């Protein structure tokens, strides 16, 4: 069995994107509203949120793969809280990606602007949930000692 867990490697990608996403969406929303950039540039937000959604999916799958091993040293309730937080985070990211796609596809400036603003608000909600998810993951490692599941293996 591989003693190097992949989950810690993958979880930092969605957390990093989630930290910058609200500011990217806010900046682009303001720039489009002020007509500094064309609305079609909103595609960059769509692509960032799509990358975030894919990263969430990969992080969840890698966490699922580590579940049984970590469950040997960590209370089940703590793992469940982290998993539920991650699932909610992924749902919020998916909803936000949907909002961003519709805002990008719409040619109606007013409705597109409302949806871009909604994307900004949900992006900040997304950030809060990312922090909650990361915090719960951190508790698994630093409070409950999940890293003990990957101590030296006997040969």
pLDDT in tens, 56-74: 999 999 999 899 989 999 9
* Alpha carbon distance 52, 73 (integer Å): 30
Domain ranges within the chain, ordered by starting residue: 7-148
* Alpha carbon distance 64, 11 (integer Å): 12
* Alpha carbon distance 128, 113 (integer Å): 23
**CATH architecture classification, 7-148:** Up-down Bundle (1.20)
| pLDDT, average across residues 27-54 | 96
- What are the CA-CA distances from residue 22 to residues 56, 80, 99, 142, 150 (Å)? 16, 27, 14, 28, 35
pLDDT tens digits, 98-140: 999 999 999 788 999 999 999 999 999 999 999 999 999 999 9
């Amino acid at each position: 069995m591989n003693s190097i867990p992949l989950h810690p490697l993958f979880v930092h990608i969605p957390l990093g994107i989630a930290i910058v996403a609200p500011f990217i969406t806010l900046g682009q929303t303001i720039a489009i509203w002020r007509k500094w950039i064309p609305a079609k540039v909103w595609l960059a937000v769509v692509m960032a949120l799509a990358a975030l959604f894919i990263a969430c999916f990969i992080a969840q799958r890698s966490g699922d793969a580590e579940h049984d091993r970590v469950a040997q040293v960590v209370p089940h309730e703590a793992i469940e809280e982290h998993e539920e937080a991650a699932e909610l985070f992924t749902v919020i990211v998916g909803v936000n990606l949907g909002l961003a796609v519709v805002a990008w596809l719409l040619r109606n400036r007013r409705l597109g602007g409302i949806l871009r603003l909604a994307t900004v608000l949900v992006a900040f909600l997304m950030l809060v949930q990312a922090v909650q998810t990361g915090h719960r993951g951190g508790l698994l490692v630093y409070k409950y000692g999940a890293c003990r599941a990957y101590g030296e293996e006997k040969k």
